[in-house]
């Protein structure tokens, strides 16, 4: 009786041959019932029904005993060692067939099953010796599996399509939201820009328009040059840039022109609070700063 693994029948041939000088040759040969197998390639089921051909290599293990002194226990131990290696190798050879995973066979269980079958045949003294077919079609065996796989693929495809549709919908929603946010931000910037310019005097406006900065003179801490955008505020004392400061709102969503106005108002009213709150950065290299009153480059 051949041992079945999925659609493959494995024949087991045991040989025990006396050799010269009392030696014995033990041989296990595990061979498939066909040299080649053909089946429908289930992986291509929805593209084209392609017929694929597979081969299962036969496995052969042999061992020669020492001369004389062979006992039954020693022989069984030797058979057991050979069967162990041969069974696991034979299962691995079958496992290499591309569609083997569809039969959901446990490799370890199959190996132990084959090992048990070999040892049963050793005890019974039987052996398989059937003629190998040249080619065997195993498509019928896989019909049921084929239906299962087709259904699984259909469900996976439907899930993928639903996922794609959901992603597309989310992206559209996100883009719509982003467009609204951009419009809202633009409007907020225009409003804050109008507020800033309504608070600047004539000289400050001219400086802001021409040099993109506003200079604030303080009685105790020198001049401060505030850029009309992101960037540090430069402190200028006696025509020298002595430090730069970074100050911002705790809430980062407030438009930049409000931040500029806050710096201007705070420096005009409470420069000490500005200096104590802002992070101070020392000037490590000469910085070119234009101050409205001096019109010089420091």
Residues that bind another protein (CB under 8 A): 184, 187-192, 194-195, 199, 246-251, 253-255, 258, 261-262, 265-266, 268-270, 277-279
Tell me, letter by letter, the H, E, C secondary structure of 63-81: EECCCCCCCHHHHHHHHHH
Nearer to another protein, 50 or 265 (CB): 265
Nearer to another protein, 162 or 195 (CB): 195
Strands 24-32 and 59-64: antiparallel
Angle formed at CA 287 by CA 281 and CA 290, multiple of 5 degrees: 110
Q: How far is the CB of 42 from another protein (least distance, A)?
A: 58
Nearer to another protein, 57 or 242 (CB): 242
Element (H, E) at 132: none
Nearer to another protein, 76 or 246 (CB): 246
Q: Are 56 and 32 in contact (CB under 8 A)?
A: yes
CA distance 26 to 14: 8
Q: How far is the CB of 288 from another protein (least distance, A)?
A: 22
Q: How far is the CB of 185 from another protein (least distance, A)?
A: 8
Nearest to residue 224, comparing CAs of 296, 284, 275, 286? Answer: 275
Nearer to another protein, 86 or 214 (CB): 214
Q: How far is the CB of 101 from another protein (least distance, A)?
A: 57
Strands 133-137 and 34-40: parallel
């Amino acid at each position: 009786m051949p041992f079945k693994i999925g659609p493959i029948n494995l024949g087991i041939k045991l040989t025990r041959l006396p050799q010269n000088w009392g030696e014995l040759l033990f041989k296990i040969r595990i061979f498939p019932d066909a040299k080649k197998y053909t089946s429908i390639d289930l992986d291509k089921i929805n593209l084209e029904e392609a017929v694929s051909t597979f081969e299962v290599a036969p496995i052969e293990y042999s061992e020669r005993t020492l001369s004389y002194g062979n006992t039954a226990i020693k022989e069984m131990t030797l058979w057991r060692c050979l069967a162990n290696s041969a069974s696991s190798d034979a299962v691995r050879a079958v496992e290499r067939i591309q569609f083997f995973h569809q039969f959901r066979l446990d490799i370890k269980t199959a190996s132990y099953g084959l090992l048990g079958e070999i040892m049963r045949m050793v005890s019974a003294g039987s052996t398989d010796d059937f003629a190998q077919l040249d080619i065997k079609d195993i498509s019928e065996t896989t019909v049921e599996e084929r239906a299962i796989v087709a259904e699984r693929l259909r469900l996976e495809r439907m899930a993928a399509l639903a996922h794609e549709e959901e992603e597309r919908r989310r992206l559209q929603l996100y883009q719509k939201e982003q467009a609204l946010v951009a419009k809202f931000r633009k409007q907020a910037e225009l409003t804050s820009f109008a507020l800033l310019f309504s608070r600047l005097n004539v000289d400050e406006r001219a400086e802001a328009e021409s040099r993109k900065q506003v200079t604030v003179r303080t009685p105790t801490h020198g001049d401060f040059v505030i850029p009309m955008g992101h960037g540090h505020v430069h402190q200028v004392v006696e025509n020298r840039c002595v430090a730069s400061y970074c100050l911002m709102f705790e809430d980062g969503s407030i438009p930049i022109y409000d931040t500029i106005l806050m710096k201007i108002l705070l420096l005009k009213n409470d420069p000490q609070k500005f200096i104590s709150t802002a992070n101070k950065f020392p000037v490590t290299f000469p910085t070119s700063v234009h101050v409205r009153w001096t019109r010089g480059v420091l």
